[in-house]
Amino acid sequence: MDFEAARSHMIENQIRPWEVLDPRVLDALARVPREDFVPAAYRLLAFADTALPLEHDEAMFKPVIDGRLLQALDLEAADDVLEIGTGSGFLTACIGQLAHTVTSIDIHADFVEAARARLAGAGAHNARVETGDLFSWNAGRNFDAVLIGGAVVEIPPRVFDWLKPGGRLIAVRGQAPAQEAVRMTRRGDSWHAESLFETDLPYLRGGEPAPRFVL
């Protein structure tokens, strides 16, 4: 398979038409070897317009979702970023191309171990990955931007405490199949919410709706 041709096709025919036009984002997607971050069994589908299954019933986002999320972060070279939900590590590596540092957490220790190896192979030396659960992990610092890499029915309030003034939070919230990607920007003691696009993503572990009892 000609990976470079497939990568170019992904960018020009999937990602750009979905209004991802930031040249730095497109460059990051071109630089990071997506084929090295997908499960080996799906390597030939690395650039397909589809989500790819991961272990633990998780999934790697479609390329267009990756592009839209990266663009929404609106990163600058000096930014420090927190990603919640490492998954394969592909978005982590892309963020590393755009920002000063990226800290990524995942609840699955085997994902963390595999992502560290992939990130090292891709030369993403400004990425740090550790095992952590959104609902119990303590950041210990504030970030310029936070990405929740999975849907949540509601954004946990504790996440807002991890952002610097002017910081951006990107999250997908709501009830499937009508979820909404939003950007929350910190302005002093208040938050400005901006709706980005509608989607339907798998829930982050612990972020899914409570089960409803039906007679």
- Give the integer Cα–Cα distance in Å for 104 and 209: 24
Q: What's the pLDDT at 188?
A: 80
- Which residues lie closer than 8 Å to 73 by C-beta, 6 or more apart? 81, 95, 98, 145, 147, 168, 170
Q: Three-state DSSP class for 10?
A: helix
- Give the integer Cα–Cα distance in Å for 97 and 25: 9
In a domain, residue 204? The reply is no
Q: What is the DSSP letter of 107?
A: S
Q: What's the pLDDT at 215?
A: 56
Range of the domain at 61: 3-199
In a domain, residue 213? The reply is no
In a domain, residue 116? The reply is yes
In a domain, residue 205? The reply is no
Q: What is the CATH number of the domain that holds 141?
A: 3.40.50.150
In a domain, residue 214? The reply is no
- Residue-wise pLDDT for 8-25, tens only, equals 999 999 999 999 999 999
Provide the b/e sequence for 111-135 (b: ≥16 CB within 10 Å): bbebbbebbeebebebbebeebebe
In a domain, residue 211? The reply is no
Q: Where are the alpha helices (DSSP H) in 11-151?
A: 23-31, 63-73, 90-98, 109-121
Q: Which residue ranges of the chain lie beneath pLDDT 70?
A: 213-215
Whether 174 and 195 have beta carbons less than 8 Å apart is answered as no
In a domain, residue 215? The reply is no
Q: How far is CA 215 from the centre of its chain?
A: 38
- Residue-wise pLDDT for 163-190, tens only, equals 999 999 999 999 999 999 999 998 888 8
Q: What's the pLDDT at 214?
A: 57
In a domain, residue 122? The reply is yes
What's the domain count of the chain? 1
pTM: 0.95
Provide the b/e sequence for 23-52 (b: ≥16 CB within 10 Å): eebbebbbebbbbbbbeeeeeeebbeeeeb
- Name the burial class of residue 106, with classes exposed (0-12), middle (13-18) and buried (19+) by CB atoms within 10 angstroms of its CB: buried
